[in-house]
Structure 1
Amino acid sequence: MTDIVTTPALPPETASRSLFQLAALRFRRNRAAMAGCVMLVLIAMFSFLGPHFISHSYDQVFPSYVSIPPSFEPRPDASSLQDVIEGVAGRARVELKEFAVEGQTFTATVTSDKPIDPRATRYFDRANEFDSTQVVATENDGKTLKLTGSVSREYFLFGTDSNGRDLMARVMLGGQISIAVGLLASLVSLSIGVLYGATSGYIGGRVDNVMMRFVEILYSLPFVFLVVVLVVFFGRSFILIFLVIGAVEWLDMARIVRGQTLALKRREFIGAAQALGLTDWQIIRRHIIPNTIGPVVVFVTVVVPKVILLESFLSFLGLGVQAPLTSWGALIAEGANNIQSAPWLLIFPAIFFVLTLFSLNFAGDGLRDALDPKDR
């Protein structure tokens, strides 16, 4: 009789996950961070895809609709058309006898003491409210004309500014410029600051001392003076804006990364990497920079709205985005000057700016928690 030896069943093998997969899993579990990312995507779609779905351009001027409040109703309304066509008839030097509107078509009868030139219909087409005006009948030896045409109705969901431009189209354009400048300038400051700060903090000694003194020298230079010098040498352009801002904002990034590097270079895993014979650049690239990602990501989410404000400051001085181009910061500055007469000029760009700010903060906190080496 022999004993039957049974071996315990081995647990099923589980697929291993990389550090990036684990970080992505932790990030998806953060509801606030995911909500912030969804909001950022919606704002980006509104800014970059929205202009393709509206009929107005950012520089299109509507003289008849200057500083009108936001509304879901089409403009003009039936009550204002009578006043509008009387004004057009006055400019054409004719007298309005009859006027009626049926749906999208209007009919009018105008008279004068002298024969009326049929080209007077151009006065009607020049108004934003009427289009395709033509003469359908001539009476009294040309002294009476019967006109017909279409009523051109426009929607201004965000209202218009003091120049009669659609605020929604300008908010979309402002989002394009503000988001692009914020991200590109932050990318420039991230690339320079992380590499500079990690190198300075890890090497230390005289190299660190010289590199930090250089940073302090740049801190002492006036920001506006630096921008003016660069504009004089390279000319005014959109690319120069984010290059200048990024070239200044990297100073804070370098200091933050240097402080993190000074704390990391004394850790055991850095000593183990040195014992394995890794070069300084390999240690900086593989161990120092990845372990500073958490604070750096959070700082980047703070830099983006700061860059947007800096861009609006440059535009106010005439060194940034020039009219008819605009940005959220420039729209907010314009709306603040007209807050009593036209508060919607401030409300709508401020809403998008604040939503972007909160979304970046929530996304940054989620990225910090997901990329924190202590949670791995």
Structure 2
Amino acid sequence: MSDLAQMPSLAPHAPETRGRSLFSLAMRRFRRNRAAIAGSIVLVLVALFSFVGPLFSDHAYDQVFPSYVSVPPSLSPRPGAETLQGAMESAVQRARVRLESFTVEGHSFTATLGADQPIDPRTTRYIDRANEFDDTTVKETQEDGRKLIVEGRVTREYFPFGTDSNGRDLLVRVMLGGQISIAVGVLASLVSLGIGVVYGATAGYLGGRIDNVMMRFVEILYSLPFVFLVVLLVVFFGRSFILIFLVIGAVEWLDMARIVRGQTLALKRREFVGAAESLGLSDWQIIRRHIIPNTIGPVVVFVTVIVPKVILLESFLSFLGLGVQAPLTSWGALIAEGANNIQSAPWLLIFPSIFFVVTLFALNFVGDGLRDALDPRDR
């Protein structure tokens, strides 16, 4: 009997089961939504384009190319071979000398300059000032200095998105606009999310006179003109990038508060809230643990709508001179500028609009996916 007791048990062990958290279940449902995954990938690509793209560009966002004003988009390098002759003639004309010959071989050029008087060797500065040429040096002097043979390098630039009316690379401008628009949209949405959710959940759960007073305060803020509020804050705190998303977020939380309040009024009558009250939880504990988590679905969807709305509000402020100022820009400011030049330079409107619309659709797909994944009824 003792030998049997010492023998190991031959009964199979029960398989170990691991519980899954609500977050892991929500992420599993989110990954099954192909549209939401595609939207997330698009948002990541747009963010990489906006924030990482400028690191690989040779042009600065405020760099002006006087020779390439309102140039249409092209994958070919500029200048073309047919325009180099005219560019050199314009450069030597400003130097008040004659262009007697001009040849181009690959990325190098050779030009012969002539004049009735001896030519100052510093005349090559006029050639270097043109965007097409650089590193111009005097190779040979003839006829007692009245003829110079100069050589230099042909500078070729790429403008896949074209240039604007000031000669700035639109590709880099769209990247910079994406940085500011995405930053303002996300930060302002977070401000409105933080204020609106807490305010609306508190008003809806407490109810009674407190709810009445809190919502009357919201209606008073609704009655204030948005532009007047912005001007007032700019006068007191000065114009800054941080003020832009603070002002927009301080206004957009009103809609968020009303939505969360409506959800809270429906949730406060549910059985789990009554069970939490019977356990002796305080009002703030019930709001934080039960009310706010169950309003995440509609809130997330509303946040995805706020972001493009905030981008448009930011462009409106920039148009009034209260937002982003030149040479900084945003997608909204680029779209407004492109709308004014739609007949002469339609690419100024097309490219920023494409990025804005793509970002809008991606946010909507991600919002729908998060709503379905975080819906308490699907848990």
CA distance in 1, matches of 2:349, 2:337: 7
Equivalent residue for 2:299?
296
Output one character per residue of 1:42-94: Cα deviation in whole Å (capped at 9) or x when no partner: 00000000000010000000000000000000000000000110111111111
| SS of alignment partner, residue 292 of structure 1 | helix
The one of 114, 117, 121 aligned to 1:118: 121
**Alignment partner of 1:151 is 2:149:** no
Residue in 2 aligned with 1:273?
A: 276
CA distance in 1, matches of 2:91, 2:220: 64
Is there any run of 5+ residues in structure 2 with no aligned partner, and where? 1-9
Selected match of 2:249 from 231, 246, 250:
246
Tell me what 2:90 maps to: 87
Partner in structure 2 of residue 41 of structure 1: 44
The match for 1:162 is 165
Give the secondary structure class of the aligned counterpart of 2:292: helix
- After TM superposition, give the deviation of residue 14 of structure 1 in Å: 2.5
Q: Report the Cα offset of residue 12 of structure 1.
A: 2.7
CA distance in 2, matches of 1:57, 1:110: 33
1:368 pairs with 2:378: no
Supply the distance in 2 between the matched residues of 1:111 and 1:93 (Cα, whole angstroms). 10
Q: Which amino acid aligns with 1:371?
A: L
Q: Secondary structure at the match of 1:352?
A: helix
Q: Deviation per CA, 1:296-344, whole angstroms, max 9, x where unpaired?
A: 0000000000000000000000000000000000000000000110000
**1:335 is matched by which residue type in structure 2?**
G
Aligned residues: 371
Q: In structure 2, how many angstroms separate the alpha carbons of the residues matched to 1:267 and 1:71?
A: 61
Task: Please point out which of 16, 19, 23 is paired with 1:20.
Answer: 23
Partners of 2:21 and 2:14 lie apart in 1 by 21
Pick one of 327, 332, 354 that aligns with 2:330: 327
What SS does structure 1 have at the residue aligned with 2:287? helix
Aligned to 2:110: 107
Read off the aligned partner of 2:65 and give its amino acid letter: F
CA distance in 1, matches of 2:74, 2:82: 16
Instruction: Read off the aligned partner of 1:330 and give its amino acid letter.
Output: A
Q: Which amino acid is 1:294 matched to?
A: G
- Mapped pair 1:310 → 2:313: yes
Deviations 1:8-56 (A, max 9, x none): 9786333210000000100011100000000000000000000000100
Q: How high is the TM-score relative to the length of structure 2?
A: 0.97
Aligned-partner Cα distance in 1 for 2:43–2:175:
14
Tell me the residue number matched to 1:193: 196
3-state SS of 1:360 partner: helix
Distance in 2 (CA, whole Å) between partners of 1:8 and 1:353 is: 63
1-side partners of 2:57 and 2:326: how far apart?
21
Query: Of residues 217, 221, 225 in structure 2, which corresponds to 1:214?
Result: 217
Percent of matched pairs sharing the same residue: 79
Q: Deviations over 1:94-118 (max 9, x none)?
A: 1111100001100000100000000
Specify the SS of the correspondent of 2:139: strand
TM-superposed CA distance for 1:205, in Å, is: 0.4
Q: Which residue of 1 aligns with 2:286?
A: 283
1:171 — aligned with what? 174
Counterpart residue type for residue 229 of structure 1: L
Partner of residue 338, structure 1? 341
Note the C-alpha offset of 1:148. 0.3
Cα distance in 2 for residues equivalent to 1:121 and 1:324: 30
Taking only aligned residues, the RMSD between alpha carbons, in angstroms, comes to 1.2
Distance 1:9 1:99 in 2: 92
Q: Does 1:73 align with 2:70?
A: no
Q: Distance in 1 between matches of 2:243 and 2:127?
A: 45
Name the counterpart of 1:3.
none
